[in-house]
Each structure stands twice: as structure tokens, then as C-alpha cells.
């Protein structure tokens, strides 16, 4: 969703956002390549060159085109549950669901049993899902407001 | 059936999975830019919740379908890109055999309906060329971990 939104913002006002993105994850060579590919919208083409699979990467991508101080909701600390969601996903997708030191350190879950499968309750799954949904909702509202501001200015 | 009550339990334990696209109807950029993204996000969240609450067979099938969709691995071995390949493959085999046994024993007809839906989600390219198929594979695993953790 974050990538989708980021690309849509670029497409909405490329004259504003492209210069900002240059030098912050996107270089001129990449931009020239993208502009030669007329089949894709420029936002989607650039999005494929940005990593947005972690909270930090999403924050960096949005900071590249919006003012950093306007994005307090993607900051860490303050979003420990979102980090836990990210780490849980990483553990389940790439580590066979087995708890390791990295998971314990990054989530701060000291009770998680190293070397054993991560236990997950319905309630916990709900909390983690809601953390992702809540940030998605806030990101949508933020970009809605920011794009409105670009129209007025 | 068991997964119906499980789905109901999850729905009542706090997941707020709907982002109302109707909010973005005031014309201008909100409707043109934000609403399509909100609609896709909302739809994805519904699909993920569906997958998390689906029966085990569907989850395992979803993982296998993910591998097929990516076109990288044979059926059932969708995890070969993982650094923990052997471990994950053992886990998948365990859940696959357990799930298929359960399915064949009791729930053949209904499970087929659920499988059809996940085929729709996974294979009809509703989420082409981005990370959303990975999101669905993740939801499959969350569902399986929930099954394993609480004994449903």
C-alpha cells in the first residue's frame, strides 16, 4: 500500500516530487531510463526501484518527497508494534517461524523462546494486523492532506 | 464448521480491516489519487483476513500456489529461496500432510469452495508483479501458526 501510494503521489504532481526524489534513492540515470519507458506511469516505474519492505525504508521513501517533520507517525520509537509486525513477517517468511536472537533484540520480546516456533495468539495477530492497518490509514490521510496543500500552493 | 467459528472469533477480537473508500468522494485529488489506493488496500486486507481464517488446507494450498505463481519452484516447494530452506520445507511438509489428512477425512466439499476462492486470489493475477502475493503467502503462514499455537 505504501508503495502504491508513493507512486500515485509522484504521478499526481511529478513536477513537484521528482526533483525532491532525485538524489534521495533515485538518481538521474534511473530517471532517464524510466522516462524512456512510455508503457508505465513514472510513479510505478520509480517505485519498483525503491525498497519499501520495512518501516525504515517506507519512511525514507516518503521523506524523500515530503517534509520529514510531517511524518511523525512512521518514526521509531513510537511504533514498536509495527516493528514487531515487520519482524514477525520476516521470521515466518524467511526463518521457518523459529525465534532467533535478531527477532528478540529487534522486537524486545524477551519471552520469545529462542530456537522454538513463535507462538501466536488470535489476539496478538489482531493487534499486529491493526497496527499495520492503522499506519496505512494514517499514511492515506497524510498524503491526502499533503496533495491538497500542493494544489493550493 | 471449525473454521467458521474461528473466523468469527478473529472478527470479534479487534481486527479493523475495512478502510472505507466512500470517505474519498469529495472529488479532486482525494477521489482520483487516494480512493483507488484505499480501495486496493481495503480489498487486500479483506483477502488477508480471509486467508488467515481459512482452513489449513487452503493455507497450505495458498503457499504452494504462491510458488507456482512465481514460476520458480515446483508445487509444494515454494520456499526454496529461503536461507532456511530445509527447515521451512520440513514445516511445509508437516502442515501439508496434516492438513490434507484432515481435509480428506471431513471437509472435502466445503474445503473445495475455499480452495477455489484462494485460486481466484492467487492465480487470477489480481495482484500482479508486486509484493501482495507475498502478503498472502504471509497470511497463509500466520493462519498456520495460529492453528499450531492454539490447536484449532
Per-residue pLDDT tens digits for A100-128: 999 999 999 989 999 888 888 878 888 88
Domain ranges of chain B: 2-150
Does residue A140 carry a pLDDT above 70?
A: yes
pLDDT of residue B90: 45
Give yes or no for a contact between B142 and B54, defined as CB atoms under 8 angstroms apart: no
Compute the nearest-CA separation of A88 from chain B (Å).
9
Compute the nearest-CA separation of B72 from chain A (Å).
16
Strands (E), A44-123: none
- ipTM, two decimals, is 0.80
End-to-end CA distance of chain B: 11
Mean pLDDT of the A4-28 span:
80
Which among B34, B145, B149 has the least Cβ separation from residue A92?
Answer: B145
pLDDT of residue A120: 83
- For residue range A70-97, what is the model confidence (pLDDT) as tens digits? 676 676 666 788 889 999 988 877 776 7
Half-sphere exposure of A120 (CA within 13 A, CB side): 28
CB-based contacts of A112, cutoff 8 Å, min separation 6: A99, A103, A104, A118
Mean pLDDT of the B8-28 span:
64
Amino acid at each position: 500500500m505504501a508503495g502504491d501510494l508513493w507512486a500515485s503521489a509522484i504521478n499526481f504532481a511529478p513536477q513537484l516530487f521528482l526533483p525532491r526524489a532525485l538524489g534521495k534513492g533515485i538518481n538521474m540515470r534511473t530517471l532517464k531510463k524510466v522516462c524512456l519507458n512510455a508503457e508505465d506511469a513514472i510513479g510505478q516505474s520509480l517505485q519498483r526501484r525503491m525498497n519499501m519492505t520495512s518501516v525504515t525504508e517506507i519512511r525514507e521513501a516518503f521523506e524523500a518527497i515530503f517534509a520529514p517533520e510531517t511524518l511523525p507517525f512512521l518514526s521509531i520509537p513510537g511504533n514498536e508494534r509495527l516493528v514487531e509486525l515487520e519482524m514477525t513477517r520476516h521470521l515466518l517468511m524467511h526463518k521457518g517461524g523459529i525465534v532467533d536472537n535478531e527477532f528478540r533484540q529487534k522486537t524486545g520480546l524477551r519471552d520469545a523462546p529462542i530456537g522454538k516456533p513463535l507462538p501466536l495468539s488470535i489476539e496478538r495477530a489482531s493487534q499486529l494486523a491493526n497496527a499495520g492497518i492503522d499506519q496505512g490509514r494514517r499514511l492515506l490521510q497524510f498524503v491526502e492532506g499533503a496533495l491538497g496543500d500542493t494544489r493550493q500552493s | 464448521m471449525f473454521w467458521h467459528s474461528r473466523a468469527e472469533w478473529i472478527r470479534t477480537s479487534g481486527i479493523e480491516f475495512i478502510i472505507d473508500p466512500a470517505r474519498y468522494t469529495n472529488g479532486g485529488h482525494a477521489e482520483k489519487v487516494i480512493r483507488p489506493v484505499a480501495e486496493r488496500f481495503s480489498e487486500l486486507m479483506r483477502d488477508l483476513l480471509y486467508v488467515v481464517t481459512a482452513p489449513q488446507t487452503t493455507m497450505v494450498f495458498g503457499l504452494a500456489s504462491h510458488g507456482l505463481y512465481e514460476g520458480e519452484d515446483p508445487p509444494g516447494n515454494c520456499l526454496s529461496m529461503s536461507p532456511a530452506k530445509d527447515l521451512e520445507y520440513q514445516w511445509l511438509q508437516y502442515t501439508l500432510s496434516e492438513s490434507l489428512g484432515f481435509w480428506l477425512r471431513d471437509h472435502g466439499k466445503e474445503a473445495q469452495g475455499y480452495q477455489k476462492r484462494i485460486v481466484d486470489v492467487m492465480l487470477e493475477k489480481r495482484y500482479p508483479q508486486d509484493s501482495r502475493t507475498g502478503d498472502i503467502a504471509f497470511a497463509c503462514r500466520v493462519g498456520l501458526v495460529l492453528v499450531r499455537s492454539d490447536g484449532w
